[in-house]
Structure 1
Amino acid sequence: MMQAGIFTGYFPYGLEETAKKIRGHGFNTVQLDLHFKDIDLSAGQITKDKAKKVRDTFRAHDLPICCISGYTNVIHPDLAHRKANVDRLKEIIRNARQLGSPYVISETGTYNTESEWMSDPKNKSEEGFEMCRKVISELAQEAYDHGSMFLLETYVNNVVGSVEETVRMFAQVDHPGLGLLMDPTNYFESHNIDQMDKVLNQVFDTLADKVKIAHAKDVARAGDDKSEKHADIGDDDALASHTFRGVGEMVLNAPGTGSLNYDLYLQRLSQKNPNIPVIIEHLSEDDVPRAKKFLDDKFRANGL
């Protein structure tokens, strides 16, 4: 049976209290964000003792860590900034097993200088793809060398955003250190959202064997507001990846609030991944009970 999980970063507390609150909602797995009020896990600050404390705390609350957030812009146009981002991601990869899971996730980034989620012409160029491929290959090797796996997450405005681009990246980086984070909402744009089922089936027909972890949020048309959207989730220090709610034509909110065909999504996901963790995101803490009930109800209705 599938497992409902959630990002730890939606709970702005210390380590112990975060684990306690998440377990109190009935979750049985988490995606680990290296962001707690009482333990410094920032760049250069991960140690074996801290990693053990984190994994032991979640284990003590029956919340095994299924994957780890490493979100950053791996192709930032400023080379010094890019190096710092990639070095930080490699640090997380090297420590992943100590933290409790081999899987570390990031998107592929953008050459846009204003935002990690806005598009840039270079993103869809051969030069841009090749530069990104080199970085993804490095990350896959780093992961393999440390018994981990780098999971690529797609997003329409990044270098790897379409099904075709995802297939191409995996063909060119055919490596045991590389896997896929499945989030179907990230494939939709204004030109294909009205072909929801066709796109979902294409995603799983071509990529199902790469999937290790899945996400649960939703997608809908943005209407007149095409600006980059961020939500207040009750944490002044929240990671931007947790406050982000979309830019341009699409809005990306909590599961059950948009257009995603969850029945088809979960049915296709379960065919090759019947016990996969499905991690809820893009919500605030007060919406957690509703979102979890929505996902649990979908599991139940589909016999998953």
Structure 2
Amino acid sequence: MMVNIGIRAHDIEADSLEELVNAISDKGLTSVQLALSKSLKNMNTDSGALSPGFARYIGDAFRDRDIQIAVLGCYINMIHPDRTERNKAMDRFKEHIRFARDFGCSIVGTETGNVNAKMGYTEENFKEQPFFDVVESVRELVAEAEKFGVIVGIEGGVNHPVHSPKVMKRLLDFVESNNLQVIFDPVNYMTIDNYKNQEDVFHEAFDLFGDRIVILHAKDFIIENNCVKTVPVGKGLLNYHALFEMLKAKKPFIQVLMEATKEPHIEDSIQFLRGLYKRSTY
């Protein structure tokens, strides 16, 4: 069984759409997470610019090289303290939902934002009100997704209100819709307190919402100055062997999208993932 590896498109340096798809294809990658504004800088991707024709044009460029747009990345602050800014962000996400299928994509992804306008770690995110603000926004996005047969993929992490697997499960329980699914990035849940028991975090996530995981994000981490620091795949402490054993058993062929992994590390990271996946047991 082969591992199904893709990459976050804006981790590839490219000056044009053609150059981007060729670079991804030449690496043997099968899928991407595409953030329009980050990867298509020479095109107008502002709110209101999308159309079925635009989406089909972009989608065809990837399809012609046998690459699937697995996720449209539209990472917004869905609980922005300024209501006007929050509404703009929500409208942008809904526009991605409306045209996702024209891109050949069924998932639009985001994290859950921040109580502050500027993103970053704050324990204020962990209070009840931010959680219920997230619930309100996710319900609104999922209601739109249900109309278009699209999935809202929510990614949790310690910098956001959905900061643990338990809180992710709580969100899934509050928003009762199969159009809400999970983008699982295990590094996002790593802290100085739990990284030595990271396998417990994996098991907790799979026990609580393994059936709802639709994408795995792959990056890595080290501990530096008593903090978790992100590094390219295979260059850190994440126990991919344990993670892949779970994936093989419970989520075969799930798309594994590398992120925070740029040149000159991409080829090494691909070989690391392929080798480890092949050696992991099921």
Q: Would the TM-score normalized by the shorter structure come out above 0.5? A: yes
* 8 A contact 2:151–2:181 mirrored in 1: yes
Q: CA, structure 1 residues 76+120, in 2 after alignment: closer, same or farther (shift >3 Å)? A: farther
The count of residues paired between Structure 1 and Structure 2 equals 278
TM-score (norm 2): 0.94
Superposed displacement of residue 111, structure 1: 0.5
Amino acid at match of 1:40: N
AA matched with 1:110? N
**Does 2:119 align with 1:141?**
no
Task: Check whether the contact 1:208–1:269 (CA below 8 A) recurs between aligned residues.
Answer: no
Q: Give how far 1:220 is off.
A: 2.4
Displacement of 1:204 in angstroms is 1.2
Q: Shift in Å at residue 118 of structure 1?
A: 2.3
Q: Residues 121 and 158 of structure 2 are in contact (CA less than 8 Å); yes or no, is this contact kept in structure 1?
A: no
Specify the alignment match of 1:246 in structure 2. none
- Residues 154 and 183, structure 2, Cα contact 8 Å, conserved in 1: yes
**1:28 is matched by which residue type in structure 2?**
T
Equivalent position amino acid for 2:158 in 1: V
The answer on whether the counterparts of 1:15 and 1:37 sit within 8 Å (CA) in structure 2 is no
Give how far 1:116 is off: 1.8
Question: Per the alignment, do residues 303 and 3 of structure 1 end up closer, same or farther by CA in structure 2, a change over 3 Å counting?
Answer: farther
Give the 3-state SS of the residue equivalent to 1:285 in structure 2.
Answer: coil
Quote how far apart the aligned CAs of 1:126 are: 1.5
1:170-207 Cα distance to aligned partner (Å, 9 max, x none): 11112121000011111111111121122221111222
SS at match of 2:229: strand
**Counterpart in 1 of 2:180?**
178
Match of 1:59 in 2: 63
Aligned residue number for residue 259 of structure 1: 237
What is the rounded CA distance, in whole Å, between the counterparts of 1:70 and 1:135 in structure 2?
Answer: 14
CA RMSD, Structure 1 to Structure 2 (Å)? 1.5
Deviations 1:246-287 (A, max 9, x none): xxx321221111111001111112222101110011022322
After superposition, residues 44-193 of structure 1 pair within 5 angstroms as 44-113=48-117, 115-121=118-124, 123-193=125-195
User: Hey, what does 2:209 align to over in structure 1?
Assistant: 207
1:120 & 1:49 partners in 2: Cα distance? 43
Tell me the CA shift for residue 303 of structure 1.
5.8
- What CA distance in whole angstroms lies between the structure 2 residues aligned with 1:250 and 1:264? 20
What residue is the counterpart of 1:4 in the other structure?
5
Q: Deviations over 1:43-75 (max 9, x none)?
A: 211121111111111011111211211111111
- % of aligned pairs identical? 31
Superposed displacement of residue 37, structure 1: 3.7
1:292 pairs with one of 263, 270, 274: 270
Secondary structure of 2:264's counterpart equals helix
Paired position in structure 1 for 2:15 = 13
Question: Structure 1 runs of 4+ off > 3 angstroms?
Answer: none
* Cα offset, 1:40, TM superposition: 2.2
1:158 CA displacement: 0.5
1:94 touches 1:146 (CA, 8 Å); kept in 2? yes
Q: Greater CA deviation, 8-17 or 71-80?
A: 8-17
User: 2 CA distance for matches of 1:138 and 1:271?
Assistant: 34
